[in-house]
Amino acid sequence: MKRIALLLCVLMLAACFAACKREETPASDPPVVEVNSERHITLSELMADNDDFVMGCFDDWAELRNEEDEDVRLTGWTLSKKSGSSPMRLDEYTVPAGGFLVIRLNDSTPFRLGKEGDCLMLFSGGEKADELTYDETILSGSWTHDGACETPTPGFANTRAGYEEYLRTLAVPGVRINEVISSNDSVCPLDGKCYDMVEICNGSGAAVQLKEYTLSDKKSEPARYAFPDIELPDGGFYTVYCGLEGGGEDCASFKISSAGETLYLSRGGEFVDCVRVPGDIPRNESWGRTDAGFSYFAEPTMGAANGGGYAGVVAAPQASVPTGQYAEAFDLALTGEGVIRYTLDGTEPGPGSPVYSAPIRVDGVTSIRACCEADGRTSAVADFFYFVGEHTVPIVNVAIKQEYLTGSEGVLNHIDPEYEHEAYVTMMEDGEVLFSVPCGFKLHGNDSKKLVKQNFQLRFRSVYGLSKLKYPVFEDRDFDTYNSLILKGGSEDFVFCNFRDELAAALTDGVTALSVQAYRPVILYLDGEYWGVYWLRERIDAEYCANRLGVSKDSVNLLKFYGEAAVSGSEREFVELGNYCASHDLRNKADYDYVMSRIDAESLMDWYICRSYIGDVDLANMRVYSSPEADGRWHWCFFDLDWSFWNDTTDPIGRTVRDDGHHRIIAALLRTPEFRRAFLERMAYLLRNVLNEERIISEADRLASLIRAEMPADREKLGYTMEMWEGYIEELKAYVRGGRRLGTYLKGVRNYFGLSDAEMRGYFGDMY
């Protein structure tokens, strides 16, 4: 009986305990449901190779969304990578009703996510519930089923509102990055120049020693900028100027990308703050912290508390048809918030621009720039470019106000070398826009400015919004930054072959010591009007020379007019070298060695040999350059050769090495036996390997083939015929065919140098 009574007592106590537990559980708590794959749990966002200090750490993460109205326990659920990994069991996780669950992926989990791309898969009991595939375009943001996101929203909706809500949940560090300017041409100038800026705020409650902190735009290099040895009081601010070469006490050498990037604040090697700078901060405005997270500021407050910000930037308008090349004309619709303003002439839309009210007819070449105006704010400018038709080479369109192209203010009517107007240039190939950027537009050349088919320059300047074009325009160049480019329409050869200059470049580029302009054929449109077959070319400026020598642009001495006037730097040393050659007998070894130490001798030889062989006697447009940061020697450029393969002179060397005071260096050197011998040996090499008949004809045929399909329209526009064009090409090839030019050239060389037949055969062998 005692045992039964004891058992009854235990049962009664258990029942009482269970009743108490039921009373402790709030009636409003939803039940936790064990589910299968029929429940709607999805992969809503992920972050790979996290560099953004999201949720206060650098863990990768995956976000699950629960669209059910009940909490879901993930018993039997797993995550895995398609590329291969052990599955991560999710039994202990619960996704709240209608909410999100963020799962951290770090070194303690079976796998992390790589930036190169992968597929993250979600399984329930072995059955796939969802998958999210991402690629390398994820960059430093996150990824959703809609693609890459610049602004991660772990635990919140993938919207602007969700991002702002996420930011409000983040703990604010005591010492923190408080405000950032990433595009600046007017705020807080330093020594007359404006820079990107980062403001640090101390809200820790006590003074801090700034020297303990570092700032960087690279997670892997947290100490790119070290703060000075000063005390920052509680509530104090310190501003760092970014992008100043060499840095300084309050100047960091790195810039902040206006396209968006992450900034890192560290103390003693440990990260204390990390801010993702968005890519849509308007010029001369800032992005910074507020009590509610982050805001944009129309009026930056560097050195003071932030205030008066606005929540978000108005989104740029969208187009109903993607930018590209199309076979038939169509009507294009623009959509966006508020009022949409647009332009068709390349200018940036603003308050005075037309208001979009009906679809835009797209036919031929159409360049559209548009923005939205809403709630007193203006969106970033969206650019759309369309070509209806077909071309066999890339097209270049220069969108420019009509009054800036023609008429009294037009570029076409001003030969002043400094006269240019703002424009917008787009280059498209096979329906893909290669670049579309603001620029200055002007005439190029000297006498060619007065021709019917003029040449043009594209100048990239910060005043237009882009200081340099960064794009690999020419595939045979290992650099991709340009201050300017040339659109060359044949110059004085436009009536004839339209490619003599390019032929001379093709023959010498990379196989001589000459600096040559790269080229590629394009079809030029000016404000949508067909302008003809052109050649996009490098322009010989200080940037061009610096790229070749691997030096700074400011160190370059670039000279013109026989090297007697400076384009950049100073002509003093070159003029002094010419005077030295005129006043010294270079048969004296010491004098000879000095001159040879000041020039790239092979470059000098190649210029005179190649120039004399092709017969272009327009010699004043000589360009030479040097840099003390390189070998300090003078190098020769080979350019402006539109009269090549035309003048069949019987005295090629004498016509080129003229006794007119402009060729003192080569004239003095040729009086020395050593240089004369080297010159003739170099000549023989070039005649046999570079300037031979077969190669010249082959290159002429190749260049003609590049543009032949496009030439009928070009000839028709100018009033010429294809028969004339083909005839001029045959005349060019006849210049060298059958040994004609070689025979004339060698006869002139023999006479100029007074060589015997034996000496000629010694240098030129069977060519003589």
Q: Please, which residues bridge with residue 288 across strands?
A: 179, 295
In the DSSP assignment, the letter for residue 453 is: S
Query: How far apart are the two ends of the chain, measured CA to CA in Å?
Result: 134
Do 136 and 182 belong to one domain?
no
Do 533 and 563 belong to one domain?
no
Q: What is the pLDDT of residue 254?
A: 93
Q: What is the pLDDT of residue 191?
A: 85
The rounded distance, in Å, linking the Cα atoms of 362 and 385 is 10
The rounded distance, in Å, linking the Cα atoms of 732 and 739 is 13
In a domain, 88, yes or no: yes
Q: Please, which residues bridge with residue 324 across strands?
A: 386
Q: What is the CATH number of the domain that holds 216?
A: 2.60.40.1260
Do 163 and 191 belong to one domain?
no
Q: What residues make up the domain containing 621?
A: 550-691+736-767
In the DSSP assignment, the letter for residue 154 is: T
* Cα separations in angstroms, 189 against 184, 192, 299, 452, 758: 9, 5, 15, 45, 72
The rounded distance, in Å, linking the Cα atoms of 370 and 425 is 16
Do 126 and 178 belong to one domain?
no
> 175 in helix, strand or coil?
strand
Tokens, residue 722: 């294809």
Do 754 and 605 belong to one domain?
yes
H helices of 497-571, in order, are 500-508, 542-549
In a domain, 435, yes or no: yes
In the DSSP assignment, the letter for residue 441 is: E
The rounded distance, in Å, linking the Cα atoms of 691 and 566 is 31
Q: What is the 3-state secondary structure (H, E, C) of 290-348?
A: ECCEEEEECCCCCCCCCCCCECCCCCCCEECCCCEEECCCEEECEECCCEEEEECCCCC
pLDDT in tens, 370-402: 999 998 888 889 999 999 999 999 999 999 999
The rounded distance, in Å, linking the Cα atoms of 592 and 367 is 59
Q: What is the pLDDT of residue 333?
A: 97
Q: What is the pLDDT of residue 160?
A: 76
Q: What is the pLDDT of residue 253?
A: 92
Q: What is the pLDDT of residue 84?
A: 84
The rounded distance, in Å, linking the Cα atoms of 513 and 496 is 29
* DSSP strand pairing (519-526 vs 395-399): parallel
Q: What is the pLDDT of residue 36?
A: 45
The rounded distance, in Å, linking the Cα atoms of 326 and 712 is 22
In the DSSP assignment, the letter for residue 359 is: P
Do 496 and 376 belong to one domain?
yes
The rounded distance, in Å, linking the Cα atoms of 485 and 504 is 19
Which domain-ending residue is among 124, 146, 167? Answer: 167
Q: What is the pLDDT of residue 636?
A: 98
Q: What is the pLDDT of residue 53?
A: 62
Q: Give the DSSP per-residue string, 652-663.
A: HHHHHS-SSSS-
Q: Tokens 């000016």 correspond to what residue?
A: 526
Do 64 and 159 belong to one domain?
yes
Q: What is the pLDDT of residue 22?
A: 33
For the chain, residues with pLDDT lower than 50 are: 1-37
* Cα separations in angstroms, 601 against 42, 423, 634, 678, 682: 70, 42, 9, 10, 11
How many residues are present in the chain? 768
Do 589 and 503 belong to one domain?
no
Q: What is the pLDDT of residue 1?
A: 36
Q: What is the pLDDT of residue 463?
A: 87
Of 529, 527, 444, 458, the closest CA to residue 490 belongs to 444
Do 253 and 334 belong to one domain?
no
In a domain, 308, yes or no: no
Q: Tokens 């039994």 correspond to what residue?
A: 91
Do 491 and 600 belong to one domain?
no
- What angle (nearest 5°) sits at the alpha carbon of residue 237, between those of residues 232 and 240? 100
Tokens, residue 212: 């303990």
Q: What is the pLDDT of residue 200?
A: 97
In a domain, 427, yes or no: yes
Which domain-ending residue is among 483, 516, 538? Answer: 538
Residue 440 CA, distance from chain mean position: 17
Q: What is the pLDDT of residue 12?
A: 35
The answer to whether 731 and 741 have CB atoms below 8 angstroms apart is no
Which domain-ending residue is among 515, 538, 561? Answer: 538
Neighbours of 468 (CB within 10 A): 15
Q: What is the pLDDT of residue 20?
A: 35
